[in-house]
Amino acid sequence: MKDLFGKALLDYQNGNYTEDIITSTNISEEDELPLPYLFRSFKDMPKLEQKALKLTKGKVLDVGCGAGSHSLYLQEKGFKVKAIDISKGAIEVTKQRGVLHAEVKHILNETETFDTILLLMNGTGIFQELTQVSKYLKHLKSLLQTNGHILIDSSDIKYMYEDEDGGFWMDMNSTYYGELDYFLSYKGEDENPMKWLYLDFEKLQLACETVGLKCELIAEGDHFDYLARLIPA
Ligand SMILES: C[S@@+](CC[C@H](N)C(=O)[O-])C[C@H]1O[C@@H](n2cnc3c(N)ncnc32)[C@H](O)[C@@H]1O
């Protein structure tokens, strides 16, 4: 990983904001990811993220914290928060913004336990592929304290395969339609391609059942997105 995402966050944090990150996927054209969005305050967050922050309790783990916007908000509200990310640049920015406990760490290497585990901005993305979902869910479950919960958002991206006549062009024999190849570039450099998983609610619920988690639909957004709460069954 070249950590272009972290480099972009550091540029923004250090006042060197000249351009946005460009993303694309195997099923979609190039799109801009505006850097200011990653530094959003509570009032600029989508309703589903605001809802997740309102449901937060106890000691918190913010998984894939990015620039640390959710952690910062919660810390300011008095919560004890740990922010983790695999991006060195992201963690540097999160620390510079004032989050006291931020570490470069892959979620599968986390061992502490928490009352709330947050995975936000398509939190299922880090699972990468459908075949890996139960491994990640089992691990997340092992990090829960008694009465703890996991708050995770994602989208059903079936709409991305809809053509003008309302038909769907996805190949039903191929892999799950939410498994995408994700490409990112910044300032003319290309990041190594990544896998990124969008999981519809029913698939998440099924996966949860197999690992002894109860999956509750908390809220739906305006565009096939949703927030779910997972608790031990
Ligand atoms: C879409 S960004 C979301 C950032 C932040 N949560 C937000 O809402 O602004 C996803 C983040 O997850 C991080 N990430 C990806 N895989 C991860 C893993 N296995 N463990 C921890 N962080 C991961 C990425 O580096 C990136 O910062």
Site to substitute for ligand 1 among 121, 132, 194, most atoms within 8 A of C-beta: 121
The residues facing 232 across adjacent strands are: 213
Average pLDDT over residues 119-123: 98
What is the arithmetic mean of pLDDT over 60-86?
98
Contact 199, 136 (CB under 8 A): no
Q: Is the pLDDT at 101 greater than 80, yes or no? A: yes
If you average pLDDT over every residue of the chain, what do you get? 96
pLDDT of residue 173: 65
CA 162 – CA 164 distance, rounded (Å) = 7
Q: Indicate if the pLDDT at residue 172 is higher than 70.
A: no
> Alpha-carbon torsion 107, 46, 199, 197, what sign?
negative
* Torsion angle of C-alpha atoms 63, 64, 67, 68, degrees rounded to 10: 0
Kindly give the distance from the C-alpha atom of residue 151 to the centroid of ligand 1, in angstroms, as a whole number.
14
B/e letters for 166-179, b = 16+ CB within 10 Å, e = fewer, are eeeeeeeeeeebbb
Cβ atoms of residues 133 and 124 within 8 Å = yes
Q: What's the pLDDT score for residue 42? A: 98
